[in-house]
Amino acid sequence: MPILRAQISTAAAPETLGLLQHHHPAPFDGRLDLSFTPFLDRTAKTDAKLLVSEVHQMLGKYEGFVTTEAGETIPIDDLTGFAEEHFAKW
């Protein structure tokens, strides 16, 4: 069974992402129409000058639709899940 993949894109710097705001992931293959509303942001930061990393692991709720390869539309309502944003510089 293929895994549906999506990304939340932004050109903003990590400190200005507004990660706890409502997001609409962009699908890679057009079969995913979900909105993600985070309610928790777990953050890990490292700044060793040559190595900089900031990870946000957000827990939240998904709502929307997923379309199978057979064309069946599956509604998603109040599904708890996660999303991650990672900024790294080396």
Tell me whether residue 10 is in a domain. no
pTM of the model: 0.62
Asked whether the predicted pLDDT for residue 12 surpasses 60, the reply is no
Tell me whether residue 4 is in a domain. no
Tell me whether residue 55 is in a domain. yes
**pLDDT interval class at 72 (50, 70, 90):** very high
Residue 70, Cα to own-chain centre: how many angstroms?
25
Tell me whether residue 13 is in a domain. no
Tell me whether residue 7 is in a domain. no
Percent of the chain with pLDDT over 90: 17
Q: In terms of Cα–Cα distance, which of 27, 32, 34 is closest to 7?
A: 27
**Alpha helices (H) along the chain:** none
Tell me whether residue 16 is in a domain. no
The residue range of the domain holding 51 is 21-89
pLDDT given for residue 32 in this prediction: 82
Burial of 58 (0-12, 13-18, 19+ CB in 10 A): buried
Give the model confidence (pLDDT) of 15-39 as tens digits: 445 666 666 666 667 788 888 888 8
> Is 54 or 7 the better-scoring residue by pLDDT?
54
